């Protein structure tokens, strides 16, 4: 039995459904969340309600579920939990569970945006300029090396929280005075793209790259996009991923400005727009199941049709819950 545990499933119903199809009765998908109002848990074969990640004993609870349920692989759909899985990889492996996440160093690098900027620059990849010191930024702006607008954002953050666009010096100074651990990032005035990438967890080879051109954003997530193919971009992504040493599923944000590609951010998990890739035939859950069952995936970079448009729409789930007191 190849049982898979999806942590913090929330509203990611599709991902749960995809794993159930990939297992095809060979195992179960177990989902967790801290809320009984998380619709995705009801799409799983079974679910368990758990404490919040920040509460004492959370890790032990997840390890207990893995052991009781004979979980082969565990993954999370939210950023804060990825560090927990990566940092405790050995504890999971000791009980026969594989954390589906890159190593701890890679995960922390993804979540520290300034450290990622430094790493990208060191490796020679184009990316937006960043500053930790506002005075150094003001000097660069006064010298004509930076221009407004810019983004002021947390060095470590996710889900577009506390990100502000600053149109002038006064706004930058004001924002930096309100919070600590902020950085100033060049505004990337170009076309945004996203890439869903899977690196085989056994061979370490890049087996899948799916690229989408983002047509419209809503609340920090891709609302409408179209699949595209670009050999030069595939080569850039593969070069970057190999040099970084990632494993498993990652989501990369990029910009195209004046014919040049810029790498913006990396998320070491399923991106919110992954259903677009799946609908185009890029079956990452199946690749993960193959790896968990000891099979190496064959490379299929760019194996999908270009010009396929993804349009998000609203769905609801209505069901009777015994936990609810009317």
pLDDT in tens, 164-199: 999 999 999 999 998 888 999 999 999 999 999 999
Query: Can you give the CATH number for the domain in which 280 is found?
Result: 3.30.470.20
**Mean pLDDT, the chain, whole residue set:** 94
- DSSP annotation of 40 reads G
Q: For residue 264, is pLDDT > 70?
A: yes
What average pLDDT does the segment 263-273 reach? 95
Closest CA to 286 of 198, 168, 183, 163: 198
Q: Could you tell me if residue 243 is inside a domain?
A: yes
| Structural domain that includes position 172 | 129-186
Amino acid 206: pLDDT: 98
CA distance 117 to 213: 22
Clarify whether residues 209 and 303 are in a common domain: yes
pLDDT for 121-150, tens place per residue? Answer: 999 999 999 999 999 999 999 999 999 999
Clarify whether residues 152 and 212 are in a common domain: no
Clarify whether residues 174 and 61 are in a common domain: no
Query: Can you give the CATH number for the domain in which 141 is found?
Result: 3.30.1490.20
25: phi > 0 → left, psi -120 to 50 → alpha, else beta; which? Answer: left
Q: 189 Cβ partners below 8 Å, 6+ apart?
A: 257
Q: Could you tell me if residue 116 is inside a domain?
A: no
pLDDT band at 220 (very low <50, low <70, confident <90, very high): confident
H/E element, 175: helix 169-178
CA distance 175 to 162: 10
Clarify whether residues 260 and 227 are in a common domain: yes
Q: Could you tell me if residue 323 is inside a domain?
A: no
Amino acid 323: pLDDT: 60
Q: Are 226 and 309 in contact (CB under 8 A)?
A: yes
How far apart, in Å, do the first and last CA atoms of the chain sit? 39
Q: Could you tell me if residue 182 is inside a domain?
A: yes
Clarify whether residues 200 and 306 are in a common domain: yes
Percent of the chain with pLDDT over 70: 98
Pairing outcome for strands 260-267 and 130-131: unpaired
Clarify whether residues 177 and 232 are in a common domain: no
Amino acid 282: pLDDT: 98
From 164, 186, 208, the end of a domain falls on: 186
Clarify whether residues 169 and 215 are in a common domain: no
From 81, 101, 121, the end of a domain falls on: 101
Q: Could you tell me if residue 320 is inside a domain?
A: no
In the chain, how many domains are there? 3
Clarify whether residues 155 and 135 are in a common domain: yes
Q: What is the CA radius of gyration of the chain?
A: 20
Q: Could you tell me if residue 319 is inside a domain?
A: no
Clarify whether residues 156 and 197 are in a common domain: no
Amino acid 321: pLDDT: 82
H/E element, 59: helix 58-69
Q: Could you tell me if residue 316 is inside a domain?
A: no
Q: For residue 310, is pLDDT > 80?
A: yes
pLDDT band at 90 (very low <50, low <70, confident <90, very high): very high
Q: Could you tell me if residue 119 is inside a domain?
A: no
From 165, 186, 207, the end of a domain falls on: 186
């Amino acid at each position: 039995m190849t049982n898979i545990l999806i942590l913090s499933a929330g509203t990611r119903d599709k991902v749960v459904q995809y794993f159930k199809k990939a297992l095809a009765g060979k195992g179960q998908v177990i989902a967790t969340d801290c809320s009984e109002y998380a619709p995705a848990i009801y799409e799983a074969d079974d679910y368990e309600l758990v404490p919040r990640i920040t509460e004492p004993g959370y890790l032990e609870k997840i390890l207990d579920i893995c052991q009781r349920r004979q979980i082969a692989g565990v993954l999370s759909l939210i950023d804060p939990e990825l560090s927990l899985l990566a940092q405790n990889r050995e504890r999971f492996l000791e009980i026969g569970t594989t954390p589906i996440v890159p190593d701890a160093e890679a995960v922390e690098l993804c979540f520290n945006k300034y450290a990622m900027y430094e790493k990208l620059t060191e490796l020679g990849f184009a990316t937006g300029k960043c500053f930790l010191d506002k005075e150094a930024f003001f000097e660069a702006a006064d010298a004509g090396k930076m221009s407004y607008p810019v983004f002021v954002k947390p060095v470590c953050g996710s889900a577009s929280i506390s990100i502000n666009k600053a149109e002038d010096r006064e706004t930058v100074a004001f924002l930096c005075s309100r919070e600590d651990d902020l950085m100033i990032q060049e505004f990337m005035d170009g076309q945004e793209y996203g890439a869903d990438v899977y690196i085989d967890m056994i061979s370490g080879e890049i087996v899948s790259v799916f690229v989408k051109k983002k047509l419209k954003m809503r609340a920090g997530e891709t609302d409408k996009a179209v699949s595209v193919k670009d050999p030069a971009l595939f080569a850039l992504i593969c070069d970057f991923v190999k040099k970084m040493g990632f494993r498993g599923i990652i989501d990369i944000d990029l910009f195209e400005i004046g014919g040049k590609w810029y790498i913006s951010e990396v998320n070491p998990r399923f991106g919110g727009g992954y259903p677009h890739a799946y609908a185009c035939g890029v079956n990452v859950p199946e690749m993960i199941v193959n790896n968990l069952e000891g099979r190496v995936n064959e490379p299929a970079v760019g194996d999908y049709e270009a010009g396929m448009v993804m349009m998000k729409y609203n769905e609801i789930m209505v069901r009777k819950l015994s936990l609810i007191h009317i």
